[in-house]
């Protein structure tokens, strides 16, 4: 049975799990009886080795994605109940998240436009800055006539 079927068909899953565990118990008891134990002794030994059925069922339930998803759903429900109980805190939390997300989006837009997108020229890797230096000023722009020379 798939994990999502276990999530939505709990009664059926519990019945299958119970049937499977009882089958394994009976098989182990039959094996011990075949080796010469009395049925009462075999049943006692299997119960000691196997442990309680409820404990084994709980261990089986804890394995897999269905339990993980159930836990997440329970946590979300609990969180929503807590937010409903404290409307002031909820308003502050939502406002903080909205401002944070908005600021992050604005900063990314600026960084993307300035740093990440290529320049709108045919060969942006060949764009250069030309400067001149003289004794008066160590670095200054190039005049048009000097550029033509």
Cα separation, 63 vs 59, whole angstroms? 7
Contact 85, 77 (CB under 8 A): no
- Collapsing DSSP states into helix, strand and coil, what is residue 61? helix
pLDDT for the residue numbered 80: 93
Average pLDDT over residues 102-128: 87
Q: Where are the domains of the chain?
A: 3-85
Continuous segment of H or E residues that includes residue 47: helix 39-50
- Collapsing DSSP states into helix, strand and coil, what is residue 81? helix
Residue 36 per-residue DSSP state: T
Contact 56, 21 (CB under 8 A): yes
Contact 140, 134 (CB under 8 A): yes
pLDDT for the residue numbered 105: 97
Cα separation, 101 vs 107, whole angstroms? 10
Burial 50-73 (b: 16+ CB within 10 A, else e): eeeeeeeeeeebeeeebeeeeeee
- Reported as a single tens digit per residue, the pLDDT across 54-100 is 777 777 766 665 677 778 889 999 999 999 999 999 999 999 999 99
Contact 43, 29 (CB under 8 A): yes
Considering 18-27, 105-114, 117-126, the range whose residues carry the highest mean pLDDT is 105-114
- Reported as a single tens digit per residue, the pLDDT across 13-55 is 778 878 888 888 888 888 888 988 888 888 888 888 877 777 7
pLDDT for the residue numbered 42: 86
- Between residues 45 and 12, the one the model is more confident about: 45
Average pLDDT over residues 95-114: 95
pLDDT for the residue numbered 72: 87
Statement: residue 3 has pLDDT above 80:
no
pLDDT for the residue numbered 84: 93
pLDDT for the residue numbered 94: 95
Cα separation, 3 vs 17, whole angstroms? 14
Structure tokens at 121: 């020229």
Average pLDDT over residues 95-111: 96
Structure tokens at 29: 């008891």
């Amino acid at each position: 049975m798939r994990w999502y079927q276990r999530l939505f068909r709990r009664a059926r899953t519990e019945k299958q799990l119970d049937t499977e565990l009882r089958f394994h118990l009976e098989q182990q008891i039959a094996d011990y009886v075949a080796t010469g134990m009395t049925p009462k002794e075999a049943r006692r030994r299997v119960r000691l080795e196997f442990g309680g059925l409820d404990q084994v069922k709980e261990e089986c339930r804890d394995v897999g994605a269905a339990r993980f998803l159930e836990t997440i759903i329970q946590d979300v429900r609990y969180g929503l109940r807590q937010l409903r109980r404290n409307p002031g805190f909820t308003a502050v939390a939502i406002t903080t998240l909205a401002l944070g997300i908005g600021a992050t989006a604005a900063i990314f837009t600026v960084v993307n436009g300035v740093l990440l997108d290529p320049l709108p020229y045919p060969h942006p890797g060949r764009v250069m800055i030309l400067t001149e230096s003289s004794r008066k000023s160590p670095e200054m722009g190039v005049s048009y006539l000097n550029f033509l020379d």
